[in-house]
Amino acid sequence: MKTLITEMFGIQHPIIQGGMHYVGFAELAAAVSNAGGLGIITGLTQRTPEALAAEIARCRTMTDKPFGVNLTFLPTVSSPDYPGYIKAIIDGGVKAVETAGNNPQKWLPALHEAGVKVIHKCTSVRHALKAEAIGCDAVSVDGFECGGHPGEDDIPNFILLPRAAESLKIPFVASGGMADGRSLVAALALGAEGINMGTRFIATQEAPVHEKVKQAIVDASELDTRLVMRPLRNTERVLRNAAVDRLLEKERTLGANLKFEDIIDEVAGVYPRIMQNGDMEAGAWSCGMVAGLIHDIPTVKELIDRIMAEAEGIIYRRLAGMGHS
């Protein structure tokens, strides 16, 4: 299937694996790229630029296909060594970068000079237009359904994607709620050039996370996510567990007085404990509503092949069959 996104990134299928903390290691990125999608290594999961350089090199030993790196620009006081990470990406010969968080403008000239295509993750049309204006090559439009940070506008993809299509000149992919061939065809119908999947890729054989995490996603329904940190305007969609219930209770009790320090036990440093140790009550971890559509733990190749076969079936049989003869 050829779209502007497959052409831009030199991939076979219009499927991107989004950056996910303590999930986007070389194993998963290589599996997605080998299956014809665009795998992504999560930059900030690697503690230093040197560690990222090593992870990129490790991924190269597992695939000769294009893969990317996610770099999230955090509004933190003690900023990560972004120049170091950018250098590791460029020196590693990576040609695709998924940026997220704060405005990536100051890093674009160096990336573009090295021939890197930049796709910026946005939760609103105004942010997508800003990304287009500063020179991003593409955007990932992230609807309210998504795991992680959905922004504060609460616009689901059925509205957000066609709004993006009306407004943008650069290509975009649909992110949030994407799971299968139906998702892909729907996204294309609404104006996207492909899909970005996060949660769905966690529930695969190659995802280097604890089996309990994969099983939790399979067991969850679309009703099992919660929004946390909304009073702090740092909303995150997470899978409900005991820690999330405690966090929400604190939000209710403290109301407008809530500070980040009040919930630090539930949100700080929990990813290694959950993703690697399977300590499922350790804290809040990102998960999309799409968990309700995830019923198995296939290999990445099985998943991507199934999505493409299902998408073609919908386009050429179901939809074409509805046309006038």
DSSP state of 83: H
Average pLDDT over residues 219-246: 97
> For the chain, what percentages of helix, strand and coil (3-state, to nearest 5) are there?
50, 15, 35
Residue range 61-71, pLDDT digits in tens: 999 999 999 99
Provide the pLDDT for residue 270.
96
Query: How far is it, in rounded angstroms, from Cα 3 to Cα 10?
Result: 10
Provide the pLDDT for residue 325.
62
Provide the pLDDT for residue 75.
76
Provide the pLDDT for residue 78.
78
| 243 lies in some domain | no
Residue recorded with tokens 């250098």: 87
| 237 lies in some domain | no
| 139 lies in some domain | yes
Contact 119, 139 (CB under 8 A): yes
| 267 lies in some domain | no
| 133 lies in some domain | yes
| 224 lies in some domain | no
Pairing of strands 96-101, 67-73: parallel
Residue range 142-181, pLDDT digits in tens: 999 999 999 999 999 999 999 999 999 999 999 999 999 9
What b-and-e string marks burial along 50-62, b requiring 16 or more CB atoms within 10 Å of the CB?
eebbebbeebeeb
User: DSSP letters of 198-227?
Assistant: SHHHHSSTT--S-HHHHHHHHH--TT-EEE
Is residue 76 over pLDDT 80?
A: no
Instruction: Quote the domain boundaries for residue 20.
Output: 4-208
83, two tokens: 């120049």
| 322 lies in some domain | no
Q: How many domains does the chain have?
A: 1
| 265 lies in some domain | no
Average pLDDT over residues 219-233: 97
